[in-house]
Amino acid sequence: MPLTLTLTEGVIPADSEKEAVSRITNSMLRHHGLLGNTVMTPNITAHVSVLPKSSTFSGGEEFSGVWMEWKVPSFAFASRELQLAHFADATEIIRELSDGKQPIENIYSNVIHTVDGSWNFNGIAMTNGEIGNQISKG
């Protein structure tokens, strides 16, 4: 279940990108009650894209931003309480790693839900129920 973390260069120090991914991943797992789950943990993947300021815009003008996007099965991030808690954590993680310099209004997040049956675990397309069965083993 990939996290795409896109940042304008300089928002956080380059050597803290790995920490950002780790902490955001752990927040996602914790809020879903899956922290330490041996099946789910390795299926949370991420990639980081760092873009020059000349390539990031708000209202058509250059600015420094952060975008966090999760692609997950439809059962993930299903409750409003969980959404609020995780994205508050993730926003604070970025703000903290920026030494408080990145305005929270320029930290964006969203979730894309996949079609049931299209999620791949171990080379097999699985339904939400099949994924749940796998997770329950871990």
The structure's pTM equals 0.93
- Residue ranges of domains in the chain: 3-135
Element holding 112 (H helix, E strand): strand 107-113
C-alpha dihedral sign at 107, 113, 119, 121: positive
pLDDT digits (tens, 9 = 90+) for 42-93: 999 999 999 999 999 999 999 999 999 999 998 999 999 999 999 999 999 9
Dist CA 56 CA 67 (whole Å): 11
Q: pLDDT at position 78, please?
A: 93
Q: pLDDT at position 110, please?
A: 96
Residue 137 has pLDDT above 90, yes or no: no
The domain 3-135: what is its CATH number? 3.30.429.10
